[in-house]
Amino acid sequence: MSAVAVGVGVVVRPGGGVRRAALRGWMGGHGVDPRMVWTGTAARQPAFRDVPHRVPAGGLPNADRVMEWGLVLPNNHSMRDDDCEYIGECLEGFVADRGLAGTPGSRARGPRANTTMAARASRMPRVW
């Protein structure tokens, strides 16, 4: 039996100055392992080629957007509060590193200076 990991989905805003691959690389370099959303629109998958289904005339733009811009951040039962906080700090560090404005109320300062990133990253549970 294998464990099942659950993730928190995020979608990078197109035109927001952030490339999904850059965010994924930054997070990975800090011990957080986000995953690309790879399944996309089920109606586009080869397995559905011969299965009757309907797609609206306008297509499935939201599903396509998730496929193109989505990432899944780690989230599971073994994570502690400080693991979740560290993921947030890494996201803020990415924003600060690129000189992008944080959201209102965001600290946008990056991981805590009083704890080395390597030490915190080594405690991140491997969830995949």
Distance between CA 106 and CA 77 in Å, rounded?
26
Q: Is 66 strand, coil or helix?
A: helix
The beta-strand segments (E) located in the chain are 6-11, 35-36, 70-75
Question: For every one of its 128 residues, what pLDDT tens digit does the chain have, with 9 covering 90 and above?
Answer: 444 456 778 888 888 888 999 999 999 999 998 988 876 677 888 888 899 988 899 988 988 888 888 998 988 888 889 998 999 999 999 989 988 865 554 444 444 443 444 555 555 554 44
Residue 94, H or E segment: helix 81-97
Report yes or no: 76 and 5 within 8 Å, Cβ to Cβ: yes
Give the domain 8-123 fold. Answer: Aspartate Aminotransferase, domain 1 (3.90.1150)
pTM (2 decimals)? 0.68
Domain chopping of the chain, boundaries? 8-123
